[in-house]
């Protein structure tokens, strides 16, 4: 699993013009990608990193600060662009594999007491955010 974590002051995701998830105070946006051999171990490690990584202001974590997280599925994190000009998506897990794992990350974060908003898996989403810092971190587990 991979996640791009962005420290934000606010963020939202829209599907067909409707806001389906939003955070209105400082926290993180987590763009989450899944590959074929990911499972429960990767879910637990990624959720722990999202919750405990000290990248918020004053070196706080999401858990320390009581900050929210907006989780958005992002299969394009597994794009392969080594050849030619057109990415391939072979390393990205298909929806039936990836969706339950992204949902499991959300469930694990909530079990840790984190407020979580989400996008809509597989939808054409418009993500708006105000990057704070900017701070952007790639996490691979």
Catalytic residues, which ones?
74-76
**Contacts with 65 (C-beta within 8 Å, 6 or more apart), sequence order:** 26, 27, 56, 57
Q: How far apart are CA 14 and CA 94, in angstroms?
A: 22
Element (H, E) at 138: strand 125-140
**Between 95-111 and 40-52, two packed helices, what is the crossing angle to 10 degrees?**
40
- Residue 8 in contact with residue 39, Cβ under 8 Å? no
């Amino acid at each position: 699993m991979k996640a791009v974590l962005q420290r934000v002051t606010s963020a939202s995701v829209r599907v067909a013009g409707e806001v389906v998830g939003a955070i209105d105070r400082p926290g993180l946006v987590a763009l989450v990608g899944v590959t074929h051999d990911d499972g429960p171990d990767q879910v637990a490690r990624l959720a722990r990193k999202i919750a405990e990584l000290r990248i918020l202001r004053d070196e706080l974590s999401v858990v320390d600060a009581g900050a929210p997280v907006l989780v958005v599925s992002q299969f394009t994190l597994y794009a392969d662009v080594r050849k030619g000009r057109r990415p391939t998506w072979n390393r990205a897990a298909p929806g039936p594999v990836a969706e339950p794992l992204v949902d499991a990350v959300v469930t694990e974060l909530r079990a840790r007491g984190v407020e979580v908003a989400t996008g809509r898996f597989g939808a054409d989403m418009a993500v708006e955010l105000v990057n704070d810092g900017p701070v952007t971190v790639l996490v691979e587990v």
